[in-house]
Structure 1
Amino acid sequence: MKLLLQNVKQLLANDEMERCDVLVEDGIVQQIAPQIDSTADETIDCNGHLILPGLVDVHIHLREPGGEYKETIVTGTKAAAKGGFTTVCAMPNTNPVPDNVKTMEQLQEKLNKDAVVRVLPYAAITKGLQGNDLTPMEDLAEFNIFAFTDDGVGIQTADMMYRAMKEAVRVEKPIVAHCEDNSIVYGGVAHDGEISKRLKLPGLPSLSESVQIARDVLLAEATGCHYHVCHVSTKESVRVIRDAKKAGIPVTAEVTPHHLLLNEEYIQEDDANLKMNPPLRSKEDQQALVEGLMDGTIDFIATDHAPHAESEKEVGFRDAPFGIVGLETAFPLLYTYFIQQHNLSLKQLVDWLTIKPAEAFDLPYGRLQEGCAADITLIDLQTEKEINKETFASKGKNTPFHNWTAKGYPVLTIVNGKVVFKEDMNG
């Protein structure tokens, strides 16, 4: 199968663009050239839109099995394709949890059958995500798992994390951590700051995140484990990670689009579409995240796409589940509101969503080069439109960005040479 993409613009290192054509054959990028004269099974005129490597997101929730009313593998991966993501990594907080060979086999079969994009599943660190007993990590590592995590809950004891890291090193897999010390959460639902006090909401202290990161980086140093920190949200966390990297500890970290774009001051009323964990923090925390991303302390951006039913979010801030969706809005929001505001380059943004996560985990994706897998995203940088949650491919409509205006929407997504999402390219 030959696919010829004509009249695309390729992004150069200096943020300039040059016109080119791209020839794909049998799932591989065969040629990138100013003009390609070749007979193809399908030719697509791309109308001068920007061509990028397929986006990579190492932190999403597909909810299946067990939470199909929130999201399914089909709807979640269609949302990924619509957002330009070609490789995503699915968290294990499902029912049942992929914490043994049987459940992992069942999950892999379901992914192979239903996923529209490439999905690399996580396996759990502890059985049932309960923090008490390690999973059979050696057996689980035999599958094509991405890493081990108990995302959604922090590993509460140093002993359990220490043993998990030692075993992860032995089976050559990373440990990925949601960092939260439950002993100092105090029932918090919003950042422990001025807004939570004004709205009379239980405050969630920054310390609950940063103290666990501090513990874990020392354990990573002792074991040599690749330790990755999910959704960093506080200035103290950034400081700990920066110091750990300076000390040569093998730690990587991610930040979400919503923590880069929002802070606690956006919470002006009891709107649970602004409730996520970790919560939106202070302006100072937000600035620290931006600085950490720019200086390399934070390695890349991940969405933490967390769909919920609308009825679950309608009960208010105190009782609604944590989390928002993000796959379909990440690139346009970051392109429109983050790049220009901080005087950053488009190339930097693309790297944080493609090559940086791939390099951090040694994945062969996130590149647009001859000989690489034909994972391709085409972006319309010109058309401006409102984000409308009712048009989402995801079942989840829980977003604080409904009605925000943005540019930079994906119009074509290709995975392994196969078109998995396509919109009208004539604007």
Structure 2
Amino acid sequence: MILIKNGYVIDPKSGLEKTTDIEIEEGRIVSIGDRKPGDAYERVIDAKGLIVAPGLVDVHVHFRDPGFTYKEDIATGAAAAAAGGFTTVVCMANTKPVIDNLDTLTYVLDKGRATPIHVLSAAAVSKGFKGQELTNFEALTEAGAAGLTDDGIPLRDPLVVREAMRRAKELDIPISLHEEDPAFIASSGINQGAVSEKLHFGGAPAVSEQVMIARDCMLALDTGARVNIQHISSGPSVELVRTAQKLGADVWAESTPQHFSLTEEIVLEKGALAKVNPPIRTEADRLDIIEGLKDDTIQIIATDHAPHSEEEKARGLEKAPSGMIGLETSLALGITNLVHAGHLSMMHLLEKMTAKPAELYHMNAGALKVGKPADIVIFDEHEEWTVTDFKSKACNSPFTGMKLSGRVKYTICDGEVVYED
């Protein structure tokens, strides 16, 4: 048995928020707050002064396996997740080969089971990510796919999207969408605006996102499908989702830490490390995203953890790939830029990183409850640290060198300590 004592327990699913103890036995929570004196424990964790919460859930990560394991692999991705307080992640399908078939899906899930955390995977919406022919949704979900997405590539044909939503609705599985119409994009990864003009870089305008979100919100309303707008990046996009929700569409949205923490100016300082799809945009967009988080238009915080090698990111703005790692800084960025900045309570932040992502994907995760798996993060809200080394195989983060508040001290998955600071 493991005892976590004296911790300030926050569970968004039940609303529990108080100083209490948690007992763990055989991988499950056996008591919260009502332990019997005299019990013997294999380990006691004194969490006085620390927050004890459900293990974090990230529904948008790239572990690059199979096909691009020089960037990351499932083992190193899982280690990065554990260091960031995550006990459950959902991998995206843009591997090589694409996860549009049972063999590749099974490969990822089997390798995930060999890690100390829960590694799930989405499957592709379209065969080969070509946006034309749909995959076998039924077979893939029966084999364990958590959801469906062509993340990294927008689905351009509205009839294909509508049929995909219709079939996803029948199966009661979420479909997650990368919303950038390439017809509007001169060059991807940097917002088309003042900074791109200064750098003589074509850029990606916000309208490239907005036109696709408008279309897909209406298709979601039409089909009744559960649709997740991934890594939302602009203020009008938030308003489009808000309007669709008011109309009754089952539309969800994610925000990444980079989109609520940074503005396009970071590109002038960090160069290609700040190149990401969709781009980091203006201060007005950042503030609108925060408003969307506050009023729950944006229900989920997800990292879009996207590792690349140092050599790739050193190619310069034009040739470097878009993307940044995020698992090991996500919680601290939320604490620093949302909680300590006065935008969200700790309960509200944790809801977006535990209960809500679990709800979107119908997971048995994201909550502290007797009888449930003991997936837990313990962290110091106030400990300051400077972003330096990573458990990830990659180090492509624009946050390197920044001082943040909020340090993960322990991550526990299925009752086992899988990370300890």
TM bin (shorter chain)? over 0.9
Structure 2 counterpart of 1:409? 407
CA distance in 2, matches of 1:223, 1:26: 43
Q: TM-score, normalized by length of structure 2? A: 0.95
Q: Is the 8 A contact 1:165 1:223 kept in 2?
A: yes
Q: Is the 8 A contact 1:326 1:399 kept in 2?
A: yes
Alpha-carbon distance, 1:316 to partner = 1.0
CA distance in 2, matches of 1:36, 1:323: 49
Q: Is the 8 A contact 1:21 1:36 kept in 2?
A: no
Paired residue total = 418
Structure 2 counterpart of 1:3? 2
Alpha-carbon distance, 1:111 to partner = 1.8
CA distance in 1, matches of 2:34, 2:112: 37
Structure 2 counterpart of 1:171? 171
Q: Deviations over 1:394-427 (max 9, x none)?
A: 011001111111221111111111111112xxxx
CA distance in 2, matches of 1:381, 1:241: 31
Alpha-carbon distance, 1:186 to partner = 2.4
CA distance in 1, matches of 2:363, 2:355: 9
Structure 1 counterpart of 2:60? 59
Q: Deviations over 1:3-46 (max 9, x none)?
A: 22223222488x99643221011221111117653112333333
Superposed CA RMSD in Å reads 1.8
Letter aligned with residue 169 of structure 2 = V
Structure 1 counterpart of 2:40? 39
Counting aligned pairs with the same residue, the percent is 39
List gaps (5 residues or longer) in structure 2: none
CA distance in 1, matches of 2:337, 2:159: 42
Query: Superposition pairs for residues 167-316 of structure 1, below 5 Å?
Result: 167-269=167-269, 271-316=271-316
Alpha-carbon distance, 1:129 to partner = 1.0
List gaps (5 residues or longer) in structure 1: none
Structure 2 counterpart of 1:378? 378
Structure 2 counterpart of 1:357? 357
Query: Superposition pairs for residues 74-85 of structure 1, below 5 Å?
Result: 74-85=75-86
Letter aligned with residue 226 of structure 1 = R
Query: Superposition pairs for residues 44-193 of structure 1, below 5 Å?
Result: 44-113=45-114, 115-193=115-193
**Which deviates further from its counterpart, 146-155 or 181-190?**
181-190
Letter aligned with residue 186 of structure 1 = A
Q: Is the 8 A contact 1:19 1:34 kept in 2?
A: no
- Residue 228 of structure 2 aligns to a residue whose secondary structure is strand
CA distance in 2, matches of 1:29, 1:161: 41
Q: Is the 8 A contact 1:189 1:202 kept in 2?
A: no
Q: Is the 8 A contact 2:92 2:151 kept in 1?
A: yes
Alpha-carbon distance, 1:301 to partner = 0.6
CA distance in 2, matches of 1:46, 1:180: 44
CA distance in 1, matches of 2:246, 2:335: 30
**Corresponding position: 1:332 with 2:332:** yes
Alpha-carbon distance, 1:127 to partner = 1.0
CA distance in 1, matches of 2:380, 2:188: 40
- Residue 381 of structure 1 aligns to a residue whose secondary structure is strand
- Residue 383 of structure 1 aligns to a residue whose secondary structure is strand
Alpha-carbon distance, 1:279 to partner = 0.3
**Which deviates further from its counterpart, 165-174 or 89-98?**
165-174
Q: Is the 8 A contact 2:149 2:175 kept in 1?
A: yes
Distance 1:270-1:418 versus aligned 2 partners, 3 A rule: closer
**Which deviates further from its counterpart, 265-274 or 147-156?**
265-274
Q: Is the 8 A contact 2:150 2:178 kept in 1?
A: yes
CA distance in 2, matches of 1:94, 1:146: 16
